[in-house]
Amino acid sequence: MGRPREALNFFMIAAHMTGKDASLWHRLAVMSDQQGFTRQAIYCWSKVLVKEQDNFEARFARARLYPLVNEPWKAKQQYQLLLDKHPGHPEVVKALVQLYHDYDQTGRAIELLEEQLDKYYSYVDLTHINMLTELYMTMGYYGDAIQLINRSESVICKQEPLPIDLKARRGACHLHMGDVTNAQPDLDQLLAHPVVDQDGETVQDLYILVIQECSKLGLHREALPFMDKLAATPGALQVADDWLMLAECYCKAGELAQAVGMYTHKLEELGFGDKRYLECALQLVQLHAEGGDAATATSLLSQLEDAIAQHLLVLPEGEGQQLTLFLDKALLLLRLGQREAFAESLLPHVTSLLEQAENNAAIIKAANQASASGAIPKELVRALKRRKMFARKGQRKQEAGGEVASVFKGYISKDRRRPHVKEADRAAEQLLRRARAAGAVSGAENTDFEPDEDEAAAVGQKESDNLPAELAALVAAATSDQEDMPDLFGDPKLYGCFIEMVHVLLELGQGEQAAALVTRARAVAAVTVGTKDTPWRGPAVAQKGRRGSGWPSKAGAIDGNISDWGPAAAEASAAAVAADRRNAARQLREGLRLLAAEVEAKKGNTEEAAKMLKTVLPRWPYSWRAWSLYCSCTAQLGRLQHWMKAVAALRAKHPDSLALQVLAAHVDNMSGDHTIASQGYASALIRQLPNEPLLLLCLGVAQIDAALARHCKERNTTMLRGFAALHTYARHRGPAAEAEAAYNLGRAAHEVGLLHLAVAHYERVLQLADGAQEKVGAAADQTTQQLAELRIQQQQQGQQGQQGQQQQGQQQQGQQQQGQQQQGQQQQ
């Protein structure tokens, strides 16, 4: 009759009435699983096992369902029981390996498969080999993977050809081992295999595997044939993430035009009605921007904005995905140099988020004050907090253990709450129902456990019946809807856009507006981002287990809290999680403080900026931006001695900090120890930032200063090294900064007295200044001043030379006259 839901209900009633018919429970379990009632299916399989304990199908099916309800440790126990009774069973081994893999237990999965190969080789099939090969590749055991595949080819396959997936993995392993010769035959066979065959079977995942492995190894040219064939195959690459991966590989291979062509073709295929169109168009704009075609990128972006304004585009349904695309579009505006448009598009959104966050912060602050006041009974406060927690993380099993609309409501454990706790929970639920009846936005849901007898009375309450202020604050916090709003501080991309917007406002001369935004953000963070996970704060973030590519996956809740296969593991790691949360909250608040210091420094309040930085910097030893700002402030305030001491002390505590290493080299250079400073710059260049222009410039200056010192033993060699570093700096700065490099080279030659070289570099700067940009014009002004000083110096040297020649001539004439007189005396 086409009514399976009602049939399931009647079968459930019949099964409970008969009780002893295991086949009926078996049928119920299959039907429940087909209709998505996972807990009900587990219950039915358990009924089968009560009557037939050795039923392999029931135990295996129940174990398969346990991870879907976030109880993987039970699945592991059931699989172990099956392996004890059926050693080496191939399907149980596959399922248990899959479970280990889903929860990052790669070592255990490898051990299990290796044991299967050693003890039960007769049960081994190519699926086991494929799984173990992928695990070996995940761990980097490429030699073991090659040996395994070669052995399987000779033992298992025998007369049959090796499957294409194992050939592709063997070729990728050979590439990792550096053996391109042996990898080529396997890769050629994959390339000859169609991406999608006539039966509709696809090997797209193998093409992507080879492309990614080649990209990791830097073999971009070898990956190009696979990329071209994959991009040209109709029906392939239907997911936006695959397009992005292929475009990145094209860019690494130097084939930007191929990536642009692929995205252009995709846009023509999709059209405005496809939800993926906007994401694809934004990626195309980014590719044009990376290629330097700013005009085309700007034109495409303006066309997108027009289409969005005219409601021609179909946007993705999820608000999170829409926010991500909106932020991507704003960042593209910033990349194209449209700073005003970036600020105008982002400022209203950020302002709205701050207003909502301020409202929630006020609610949280009032709730915290009410909790601490003692005016409300502690049990009622705890009950309201529990209701808020249930709204965030889901109801407990007693309240919502089963599926909605299923006959079986899930396993309900015995209610062990004490009477006063039950009474407090009941009172809290009545208060929340009263708030919902008055039109409040609910943060808690109706439950099946709490009685509904008081609901009519709660709905009948008049809005004029006001609650006490403290209780009203707690109810407002428990019913707030902050979980539905984007988290300004929790979303990395949104928070990054907020910081970029503050910097743009500072560059546009809108320092007061930037300061106001930062002040509001700091006030919100002080309340909502606490050192403790306050129950009134927003949603909990679920940490999902990693799933590898190419593995069959099941839909379900994966919390990743099973490092040791049991609920006790989550409790054991609670202290570490709390410590990480406190550390992240502290870093966020201090980051906002650094941003506020940057705003104050930009506004000219150097003293205030230095005070704000002083308390934060000892915990930020690796931040270039923070230390650069502090150095600038201390230099303006004339406190270089204090700055030098602080850098030396922190450098001893954090020897691996690149920022402190460079700053310590600056300190040595300013102290006159140019040799040690040169060693610090050279170490930073060699170990962490090779060919960094700034470090090359500092190294060259330090070497020249060392050569000019009085006690330099290898003066000429040190001087040559300094100028070599400066010329390397000029080469890596590129043509865009040629004027800057020429000016610095001229200053170095001027410093050591090579005036003819200095004149040539200064004249080059003046040549570049004709019709150049503002930065070059500023360099030209300084060059003109330096050149004038150099001309005066040359004139002074010329005058001194003439005077010296005159004095030398007079001395020679005097000596000649004395000689003539002596000769005359001798003749007389």
CA max distance for the chain: 159
Beta bridge partners of 196: 202
Burial class (CB in 10 A: 0-12, 13-18, 19+), 292: exposed
pLDDT of residue 578: 65
3-state SS, 205-255, equals: HHHHHHHHHHHHHCCHHHHHHHHHHHHHCCCCCCCHHHHHHHHHHHHHCCC
| Count of beta carbons in the 10 Å neighbourhood of residue 577 | 13
User: By three-state DSSP, how is residue 55 classified?
Assistant: coil
pLDDT of residue 801: 55
Average pLDDT rounded to a whole number, residues 90-119: 90
Q: How confident is the model at residue 201 (pLDDT cuts 50, 70, 90)?
A: confident
Which among 289, 186, 296, 303 is positioned nearest to 247, based on CA atoms?
289
Average pLDDT rounded to a whole number, residues 635-639: 79
**Element of type H or E holding 432:** helix 419-437
pLDDT tens, residue by residue, 315-359: 777 777 788 888 888 888 888 888 898 889 889 988 888 888 888
**Element of type H or E holding 391:** helix 378-393
| For residue 760, pLDDT beyond 50 | yes
pLDDT of residue 95: 92
Among 63-77, 478-492, 584-598, 600-614, the range scoring the smallest mean pLDDT is 478-492
Q: What is the pTM of this model?
A: 0.70
Cα–Cα distances in angstroms (integers) from residue 45 to residues 32, 61, 195, 408, 476, in the given order? 10, 8, 41, 13, 44
| Count of beta carbons in the 10 Å neighbourhood of residue 490 | 15
Among 563-572, 673-682, 798-807, the range scoring the smallest mean pLDDT is 563-572
Most confident of the ranges 89-98, 282-291, 582-591: 89-98
Average pLDDT rounded to a whole number, residues 611-621: 84
* Count, residues in the chain: 828
pLDDT tens, residue by residue, 55-81: 899 999 999 999 988 888 899 999 999
The owner of tokens 């170490």 is 683
pLDDT tens, residue by residue, 149-176: 888 888 887 778 888 888 999 999 998 8
pLDDT of residue 250: 83
Most confident of the ranges 112-121, 400-409, 523-532: 112-121
Q: How many helices (H) and strands (E) does the chain have?
A: 38, 0
Among 61-70, 385-394, 402-411, 484-493, the range scoring the smallest mean pLDDT is 402-411
Bigger pLDDT: 553 or 796?
A: 796
Give the separation between CA 172 and CA 152, rounded to whole angstroms: 17
pLDDT of residue 60: 92
Bigger pLDDT: 72 or 238?
A: 72
Q: Average model confidence (pLDDT) for the chain?
A: 77
| For residue 406, pLDDT beyond 70 | no
Q: How confident is the model at residue 736 (pLDDT cuts 50, 70, 90)?
A: confident
User: By three-state DSSP, how is residue 605 classified?
Assistant: coil
pLDDT tens, residue by residue, 419-442: 888 888 888 787 777 776 765 433
Percent of the chain with pLDDT over 90: 6
Q: How confident is the model at residue 94 (pLDDT cuts 50, 70, 90)?
A: very high
pLDDT of residue 443: 39
| For residue 818, pLDDT beyond 70 | no
Give the separation between CA 242 and CA 264, rounded to whole angstroms: 15
Q: What's the one-letter identity of residue 654?
A: H
| For residue 539, pLDDT beyond 50 | no
| For residue 365, pLDDT beyond 70 | yes
Beta bridge partners of 202: 196
pLDDT of residue 329: 87
User: By three-state DSSP, how is residue 488 classified?
Assistant: coil
